[in-house]
């Protein structure tokens, strides 16, 4: 090893048996420079599940002894000067997040392909000329970011049916010359960014990606000039429809033999299914979860949210909708709903660092609403379960609570609570959703207000999702929440007797027909407009709420 110098952070982590360690910034960099690398004691912290060493230009290599940190789930080595990563990284079988962005890497170790639990790979802003073959072995990959490198081609096995969880592929600012039609095998792909490359063609097969919602091909010199013009100004849906038309024309030119063969195979497949499939279809039909979308035009008094321009630099993305028909009164229905929201916050929302959900009793909301910003000392809110206080007071209180939690759990400084609090650090103004009375009903990503808190008696909900990441992120989270609400509603309707076990008078079992009716959700569109009244987004739109499960139906 390079040195045996004692570092106080590492000694403290060892003594307190901490699970998380962060080493970053100028002070750490000076020690790395003077010692010739990271101290050997770091690799003895075998309880660590989160390790971050960042913003240290003197860090040029990671020692092979990192293989001893077998409990690591997140390894963040960004903004250093790493020239290589040892192949033994493949021994870290529990690793889920690997961030090697903003370094000097020219290649990635082959051992990376052995990380079976890996779901997030960020190697952006390096000098990579390619990716290792075998990434399809990392079957849990959901996000890959290889932007700002020197990559000329994707490895063939990247577009594999095995990567059926890969939803985001960002490869902008490279030298990629070809995009294979095999990309359609990525059944979960939602976001594809290959802008500023050297593509001349976009395969028509791309239109067969069933969940694709956001594509970026800007900055490529396409041979189809009409398509090149479209990718610079049209929505994803229009581009995919154009590609679909091109693909259909190509197939017609090739003749109908392949289509006939395909139909024969499909017929044979259907025959094999036989009665088993028919019985399953009947069961699925009976168990369908139904969501009906009420368009803005069908609701003259529709709620509108105006977005002020100042939020652009703080937390720019917001989608809202109204939901009726959600049964919260029986038994533990409300508790189950709140638990589902918490789980989404922990998972899909990255503990609120990626996006935040707020739910309100719509009957207590006075519109129109304004998504605005206020200075921390002037933003007053009544947080859930607390007294009225300014944002400054609330943030201070939450930091104290987070520090106490950190001490109890023997962590360093990256608890989930700390992470989303850090999103507001250095901001001169904070985002807030304000009602017609001028009251703050939501302060994302921190809290919503006691004023509009949902209860068992709530019959209509206003749901908001905000993010600093992207509009599509907000929509994905909203989609997931509504699908979960439909699932919970179906469960409540089918278990009325159980739901009434807490002694409520309304707990009697409903007839089957009534249960079916009560399980249907009605989602009413909410428009988000700019200061001049121009439409920014309406949710849900036709491209939202795509079918995620076989027993989920949307009626437009």
Contacts of 555 (CB under 8 A, 6+ apart): 290, 291, 292, 293
Domain positions in the chain: 1-127, 161-246, 286-555
Rounded distance between C-alpha atoms, residue 231 and residue 246, angstroms = 15
Residue with tokens 């079988």: 93
What local confidence, expressed as pLDDT, does residue 398 receive? 85
Rounded distance between C-alpha atoms, residue 377 and residue 358, angstroms = 22
Task: Kindly report whether the global pTM for this prediction surpasses the value 0.95.
Answer: no
Q: Which residue pairs, CB below 8 angstroms and at least 24 apart, start in 311-314?
A: 311/371, 311/372, 311/373, 311/431, 314/373, 314/427, 314/429, 314/430, 314/431, 314/468
* CA 332 to mean position of chain CA atoms: 28
The closest alpha carbon to 127, from 147, 141, 109, belongs to 147
Rounded distance between C-alpha atoms, residue 495 and residue 299, angstroms = 32
Task: Confirm whether 161-246 and 286-555 share one CATH topology.
Answer: no
Rounded distance between C-alpha atoms, residue 414 and residue 9, angstroms = 14
Q: How many CA atoms lie within 13 A of 415 on its CB side?
A: 19
pLDDT in tens, 113-122: 999 999 999 9
Radius of gyration of the chain (CA): 26
Per DSSP, the chain holds a count of helices (H) and strands (E) of 11, 23
Rounded distance between C-alpha atoms, residue 53 and residue 7, angstroms = 14
| CATH 3.40.640.10 corresponds to the domain 1-127 | no
HEC letters along 294-332: ECHHHCCCCCEEEECHHHHHCCCEEEEEEEECCCCCCCC
Cβ atoms of residues 412 and 9 within 8 Å: yes
Rounded distance between C-alpha atoms, residue 47 and residue 397, angstroms = 30
Residue 464, SS3?
strand
Residue with tokens 């020219």: 106
Residue with tokens 């987070």: 402
| CATH 3.80.10.10 corresponds to the domain 161-246 | yes
What local confidence, expressed as pLDDT, does residue 552 receive? 62
Q: Positive or negative, the Cα torsion across 534, 473, 220, 236?
A: negative
Beta strands in 96-224 (DSSP E): 97-99, 120-122, 143-145, 168-170, 191-193, 214-216
Rounded distance between C-alpha atoms, residue 158 and residue 122, angstroms = 15
Q: What's the CATH number for 286-555?
A: 3.50.40.10
Rounded distance between C-alpha atoms, residue 476 and residue 540, angstroms = 11
Rounded distance between C-alpha atoms, residue 87 and residue 110, angstroms = 6
At 154, give phi and psi (nearest 5°): -80, 145
What local confidence, expressed as pLDDT, does residue 272 receive? 54
Task: Tell me the longest C-alpha to C-alpha distance in the chain.
Answer: 76
What local confidence, expressed as pLDDT, does residue 419 receive? 64
Cβ atoms of residues 546 and 472 within 8 Å: no
Rounded distance between C-alpha atoms, residue 328 and residue 52, angstroms = 42
The torsion angle over the Cα atoms of residues 531, 532, 537 and 542, rounded to 10 degrees, is 160
Rounded distance between C-alpha atoms, residue 553 and residue 288, angstroms = 7
* CA 154 to mean position of chain CA atoms: 24
Low-confidence ranges of the chain (pLDDT < 70): 1-5, 247-289, 296-301, 406, 408-419, 495-519, 546-552, 556
């Amino acid at each position: 090893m390079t040195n045996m110098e004692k570092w106080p952070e590492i000694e403290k982590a060892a003594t307190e048996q901490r699970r998380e360690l962060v080493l970053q910034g100028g002070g750490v960099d000076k020690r790395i420079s003077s010692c010739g690398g990271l101290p050997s004691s770091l690799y003895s912290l075998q309880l660590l599940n989160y390790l971050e060493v960042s913003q240290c230009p003197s860090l040029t290599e990671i020692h092979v002894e990192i293989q001893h940190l077998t409990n690591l789930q997140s390894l963040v080595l960004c903004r250093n000067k790493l020239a290589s990563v040892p192949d033994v990284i493949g021994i870290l079988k529990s690793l889920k997040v690997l961030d090697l962005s903003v370094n000097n890497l020219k290649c990635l170790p082959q051992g990376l392909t052995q990380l079976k639990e890996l779901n997030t790979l960020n190697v952006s802003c390096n000098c990579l000329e390619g990716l290792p073959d075998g990434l399809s072995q990392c079957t849990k990959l959901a996000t890959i970011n290889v932007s700002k490198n020197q990559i000329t081609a994707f490895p063939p096995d990247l577009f594999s049916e095995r990567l059926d969880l890969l939803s985001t592929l960002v490869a902008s600012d490279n030298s990629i010359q070809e995009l294979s039609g095999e990309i359609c095998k990525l059944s979960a792909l939602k976001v594809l960014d290959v802008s500023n490359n050297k593509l001349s063609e976009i395969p028509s097969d791309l239109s067969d990606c069933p969940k694709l919602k956001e594509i970026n091909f800007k900055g490529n010199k396409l041979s189809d000039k009409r398509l090149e013009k479209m990718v610079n100004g049209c929505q994803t849906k229009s581009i995919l429809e154009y590609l679909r038309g091109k693909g259909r024309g190509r197939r017609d030119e090739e003749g109908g033999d392949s289509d006939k063969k395909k139909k024969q195979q499909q017929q044979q497949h259907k025959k094999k299914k036989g009665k088993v499939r028919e019985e399953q279809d009947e069961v699925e039909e009976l168990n369908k979860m139904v969501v009906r979308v009420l368009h803005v035009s069908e609701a003259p008094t529709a709620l509108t949210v105006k977005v002020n321009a100042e939020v652009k630099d703080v937390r720019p993305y917001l989608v809202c909708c109204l939901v009726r028909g959600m049964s919260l009164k029986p038994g533990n229905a409300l508790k189950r709903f709140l638990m589902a929201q918490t789980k989404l916050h922990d998972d899909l929302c990255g503990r609120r660092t990626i996006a935040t959900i707020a739910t309100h009793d719509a009957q207590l909301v006075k519109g129109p609403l304004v998504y605005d910003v206020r200075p921390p000392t002037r933003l007053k809110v009544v947080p859930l379960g607390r007294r009225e206080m300014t944002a400054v007071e609330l943030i201070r209180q939450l930091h104290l609570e987070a520090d106490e939690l950190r001490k109890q759990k023997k962590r360093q400084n990256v608890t989930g609570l700390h992470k989303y609090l850090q999103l507001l650090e250095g901001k001169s103004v904070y985002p807030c959703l304000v009602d017609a009375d001028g009251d703050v009903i939501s302060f994302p990503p921190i809290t919503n207000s006691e004023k509009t808190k949902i209860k068992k008696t709530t019959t209509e909900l206003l749901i908001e999702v905000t993010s600093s990441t992207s509009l599509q992120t907000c929509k994905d989270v909203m989609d997931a929440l509504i699908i979960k609400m439909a699932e919970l509603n179906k469960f409540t309707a089918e278990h009325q007797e159980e739901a009434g076990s807490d002694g409520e008078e309304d707990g009697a079992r409903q007839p089957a027909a009534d249960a079916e009716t009560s399980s249907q959700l009605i989602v009413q569109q909410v428009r988000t407009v700019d200061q001049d009244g121009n439409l920014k987004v309406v949710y849900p739109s036709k491209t939202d709420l795509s079918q995620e499960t076989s027993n989920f139906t949307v009626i437009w």
